[in-house]
Amino acid sequence: EFDELCFEFGLELDEITSEKDIISKEKGEEKAKGASDVVLYKIDVPANRYDLLCLEGLVRGLQVFKERINLPKFEKIIPAEGEGQRLIVTEQTAQIRPHAVAAVLRNITFTKDRYDSFIDLQEKLHQNICRKRALVAIGTHDLDTITGPFTFTAKAPSEIKFKPLNQSKEYTASQIMDLYRTDSHLRHYLHLIENKPRYPVIYDSNGVVLSMPPIINGDHTKISLKTRNVFIECTGTDITKAKIVLDIMVTMFSEYCEKPFTVEAVEVVHPNGKTHIYPVSTALGDLCVLRERASLTQTLETPSSLAKLLTRMCLKSHVTGNGNHLEIEIPPTRADIIHACDIVEDAAIAYGYNNIQMVIPKTYTIANQLPLNKLTELLRLDLAAAGFTEALTFALCSQEDIADKLGTDISATNAVIIANPKTAEFQVARTTLLPGLLKTIAANRKMPLPLKLFEISDIVVKDPNAGTAFFPGRCAEVFVKGQSVGKLGVVHPDVITKFELTMPCSVLEINIEPFV
């Protein structure tokens, strides 16, 4: 039943397992994976649906889809003048990690499960949208242990000193880097700031270190099950993604606040004195008018049924105007909605792909197989019928494979040579299929004879006529009365570099003799 529900909602139930340590298995790390009694549902979520990465968001989405609950109304509470939290960004951050956004969750109630989910979501966001913390790093802190305003700055590693999360004593930033050099998890993030003259760091008004993003939080502000007020900061190099990450964190976990789905805004003060209030919803704005989607509305009978479908997908909609327009609210959870087609996709999911009627397209294009592909397919069938086994070998091979071993010189092969090959086995694009097949046979010497193999595939050779001074596709030849008199175009970057120039360059060259 759940499998079916997932499918209807546009997701895929990958597998049901009782293995505990799925996450560490995916990371390729060898950890104890003792089977537990807990049944786990592994669900495939589209990469841009950050709102489905935790149980809170997934269950909420499914409940709205099943029309068991209404989509929650998220509310941003802006504290009275002088009462809210402020995060002051100094100009020193500019060279290393210039952006910061923040928000507060008030009167939240954690339980073990909620807390684990809270940590788990941060880790998942860190791995995908945050690009392993390079673009954004999330820090969450017990607000009752610190006093604002907070300062986000960057300092020399020797000047930063604090007790990192779970450690028993203070270390300088340089010592912290050494400490985590062997940490199976944190060592992957050290390179993001190592070798930089200044490291990013966030202080409270008493000099307490909240975090040294993107490496580690301070121990002082550690969240526990008893934490009531959470200060969330996201720092990074990509402000758009930082805003999305903050939106996702607060929309998912404000559910557990005393006033559910409320978030307290934080004022961020930039080095130039300008201020911004966060969180801001990063989605399209509040309203989006969907027009001219006649084909879909035809399938769906009426605009009002389309509105109903979209509302079930958490895109609250109603019919406006002359009855042909929809007003759609994009909630802050849906940063994946960028264009109208994203909305249409959701409508189609809710309608059910299997319920969409097949129609003949209105465009008159007759599809046809390429003659080469057709011949290839026929040859494949016949060769297989004649008892040959098809091999599919790598398109890249070593220089030796196509030259020395075949008794030719590499310069005579016209091969495309890779500038920075990762291994000696992949230095050039193959100019013949022979080495691949011979290597396949070599690897299958134990198999009973005869070995009958075939391969029909592409090879790559340089076109000796392709050499030009111009950028391909951006040049033309000048003709006067049928006679070529010159060329014009954009000069090829290679040529520009060879003349030690750095700017793009266009030229026109004409032979004027014919005009005399």
Residue ranges in contact with ligand NAG by CB under 6 A: 106-107, 165-166, 258-259
Which DSSP helix (H) or strand (E) runs through 465? none
Q: b vs e for 381-401, b when ≥16 Cβ sit within 10 Å of the residue's Cβ?
A: eebeeeeeeebebeebbbbeb
> How many angstroms separate the first and last alpha carbons of the chain?
86
Three-class SS string for 39-91?
Answer: EEEEEECCCCCHHHCCHHHHHHHHHHHCCCCCCCCCEEECCCCCCCEEEEECH
The CB-of-292 to ligand NAG minimum distance in angstroms stands at 43
Min dist. Cβ of residue 107 to ligand NAG (A): 4
Q: How far is the CB of 21 from ligand NAG (least distance, A)?
A: 14
- Between β-strands 275-278 and 262-269, what pairing exists: parallel, antiparallel or unpaired? antiparallel
Residue 126 vs 316, nearer CB to ligand NAG: 126
Pairing of strands 161-162, 171-172: antiparallel
Q: Any idea which residue has 């604002």 for tokens?
A: 148
**Distance between CA 47 and CA 335 in Å, rounded?**
12
Provide, rounded to whole angstroms, the least separation between the CB of residue 65 and ligand NAG.
Answer: 29
CA atoms within 13 A on the CB side of 120: 17
Rounded CA gap, 251 and 232, in Å?
A: 12
Nearer to ligand NAG, 223 or 283 (CB): 223
Residue 308 in tokens = 């109903």
Question: Which CB sits closer to ligand NAG, 101 or 108?
Answer: 108
To 5 degrees, how large is the angle CA 19–CA 20–CA 25?
Answer: 85
Task: Say whether 48 sits in a helix, a strand or coil.
Answer: coil
140, 134 in Cβ contact below 8 A?
Answer: no
Nearest distance in Å: CB 164, ligand NAG:
8
166 or 195: whose CB is closer to ligand NAG? Answer: 166
Q: How far is the CB of 72 from ligand NAG (least distance, A)?
A: 16
Taking the C-alpha atoms of residue 219 and residue 222, their distance in angstroms, rounded to an integer, is: 5
Q: Quote the least distance from Cβ 123 to ligand NAG, whole Å.
A: 9
Give the nearest distance from C-beta 106 to ligand NAG in angstroms: 4
Q: Which residue has the tokens 């040959």?
A: 388
